[in-house]
Structure 1
Amino acid sequence: MDSSKEPPTMYLDDFQPKVPVTLVEGLKWKELLAFPAFQTWKSTLKTSLSNQKFSDHALHDTPYKLRSIKIQSFDKFDPKSETLNFVKMDALVSNDEKPPKRLPGIVFLRGGSVAVLMIVRPTDSPEERWVIMTEQPRVPAGSLSFMEIPAGMMDGERNIRGKAVQEIEEEVGMKLQDRDLIDMTKLAVQGHEVLDDVKMAMYPSPGGCDEWISILLWEKEIDRQQIETLKGKLTGNRKQHEMITLRLLNYERLLEVGGRDAKTLAAWSLYEYLKRTGQLP
């Protein structure tokens, strides 16, 4: 027997009782523990489970526990790296009823993302509003020309504005100042207290994926000629196989195209709400 081979089952000792985790072939235990999305998920779930102790919690009388985790698959952008990018797993969360009730627990872990609604106004006609969009292949959607607002995965990065600046430079070719970015999701939800440690961000598919997206706003008046140079511009990080074409959409018709993209739809909704309530300059 090869003693260096990872055992098929390990245990999370930050839960009581310890939670068995069944690994999948090729996945190292240290890789999973270092995966930021997994760290955030288990920390958030642990807090949520502990909140059942409060008498006014909906599940107080029949509390649930994390019983086990089975890793089903994983992916890396770089196969030679020890850095995970995606993990799919089955988390068994059930109560002590006879028979026990189980919560749906198929989870696709990918971590956080940041997206930016970029609105430009020509200096000679500031009442005009144009939205900078990216058009690129999105194979999961079956499209080679999917249009959306600029966005990117956090990849463990904690500086949301810094990551947004980086993504905009790569995808749009513009160098922004992080002080000019407004976190619209945080601004909108910060007044609503929740027991769980969920992010002050938008969760596009919480029934199956952990992904949360911080949606930021960048709105500026710039020279019309500069706006024209953005139309049809080819951008993207070629090392990451990005093939991006920039498109400019009239803000008033944004949802005719952007309504297919959850980030764009959420960004529009946040922008309109925060403008209406006077929370945006």
Structure 2
Amino acid sequence: MAVNAIRTISSALKNLKPLQPPNFISNKKNSFFCKMSTESPSLTHSITLPSKQSQPVQILAAPGVSSSDFWSAIDSSLFKQWLHNLQTEKGILANGTMTLSQVLIQGVDMFGKRIGFLKFKAEIFDKDTGNKVPGIVFARGPAVAVLILLESEGETYAVLTEQARVPVGRIILELPAGMLEDDKGDIVGTAVREVEEETGIKLNVEDMVDLTAFLDSSTGCTVFPSPGGCDEEISIFMCRRRVDKEIITHLQGKETGLREHGELIKVHVVPYKNLWRATADCK
């Protein structure tokens, strides 16, 4: 059903129709929207969602967003998945008490030929009160993380990676993790690849246990680290392995990562019993 819903959304996005300039916009406060409609009609469009919401949704480009970035944004898997999530059984628009009137595309960051990060602002209102729901969105899509447990000489250790995280301005110890390229990505394969890239440890797909699969199905079987501002949802896997103590020593302080891509990673191995104290990583 989810695939059919996304296909329906994709079809709606392909049939976008330019909006005519609203005749009620005349004061200075609304001059931006008037300008977008009259001078840049290709960057102001509307769609009709296949949900209980009947009114069209305006999609606009903020100043500085190019035409190519605008169209890439609304055709991206990040944006389509967000629209789909709004209309699922537990979606914001599912029961008809809220309405989406407008989406302002504010920023696009490309990872090669695909969109890696997408920033936009959604105008969503509660129908009963007329109040606006906070709608600033940083979209980056699904990701995967792996808890690696190494057993040696009666002790269990966890593997962490040390990385510079510019958004928080700090060096952070965290579980090995990585982004999926799109919503249809190979989750387990991505987990195995990220672990090898970040730690040098080669894992087998059949050894991976999906911890988030044990969540109630109503959760979507993923975790949301920051749902107040970001759409990121993470699948968490675990892998256990018995190793010689020499392996633990070899891994400690090992420098890894795709350095040509700016990944400056150092491996840390900590006793599992101390893991909850060793890292501020919410995963």
Same fold (TM over 0.5): yes
The 5 A counterparts of 1:194-233 are 194=218, 199-233=220-254
Q: How much has 1:132 moved relative to structure 2? A: 0.7
Q: Which amino acid aligns with 2:263?
A: E
CA spacing shift, 1:76–1:169, aligned 2, 3 Å: same
Q: How many residues end up aligned between the 2 structures?
A: 235
Contact kept in structure 1, 2:93 and 2:99, CA below 8 Å: no
Matched, 1:21 2:55: no
**Alignment-derived partner of residue 14 in structure 2:** none
Q: How much has 1:193 moved relative to structure 2? A: 4.5
SS in structure 2 at match of 1:174? coil
Residue 173 of structure 1: which of 185, 200, 205 is its match?
200
Contact kept in structure 1, 2:164 and 2:172, CA below 8 Å: yes
Specify which structure has the bigger relative contact order, considering alpha-carbon pairs within 8 angstroms and separated by 6 or more residues: 1
| CA distance in 1 between partners of 2:178 and 2:230 (Å) | 16
| CA distance in 1 between partners of 2:151 and 2:210 (Å) | 20
**Alignment-derived partner of residue 56 in structure 1:** none
Q: Which amino acid aligns with 1:14?
A: L
Q: How much has 1:158 moved relative to structure 2? A: 2.2
Structure 2 residue runs without a partner (length 5+) = 1-39
Cα RMSD for the two superposed structures: 1.9
Q: Which amino acid aligns with 1:261?
A: D
- Higher mean displacement: 166-175 or 23-32: 23-32
Q: Which amino acid aligns with 2:202?
A: K
**Alignment-derived partner of residue 137 in structure 2:** 107
Q: How much has 1:95 moved relative to structure 2? A: 3.4
**Alignment-derived partner of residue 139 in structure 1:** 166
Identical counterparts, % of pairs: 33
SS in structure 2 at match of 1:72? strand
Residues 166-199 of structure 1 show CA distances to partners (whole Å, capped at 9, x for unaligned) of 1011111122111111110112x1xx343xxx63
Q: How much has 1:218 moved relative to structure 2? A: 0.7
SS in structure 2 at match of 1:38? helix
Matched, 1:30 2:68: no
| CA distance in 2 between partners of 1:45 and 1:170 (Å) | 35
| CA distance in 2 between partners of 1:241 and 1:105 (Å) | 31
Residues 7-43 of structure 1 show CA distances to partners (whole Å, capped at 9, x for unaligned) of 2212233343321100232253431133222121110
Structure 1 residue runs without a partner (length 5+) = 54-62, 264-281
Residues 87-130 of structure 1 show CA distances to partners (whole Å, capped at 9, x for unaligned) of 11111111334x612211111111011000011011xx2x3011
The 5 A counterparts of 1:115-194 are 115-122=145-152, 125=153, 127-143=154-170, 145-156=171-182, 157-187=184-214, 189=215, 192-194=216-218
Q: Which amino acid aligns with 2:179?
A: M
Q: Could you tell me the TM-score, scaled by structure 1's length?
A: 0.78
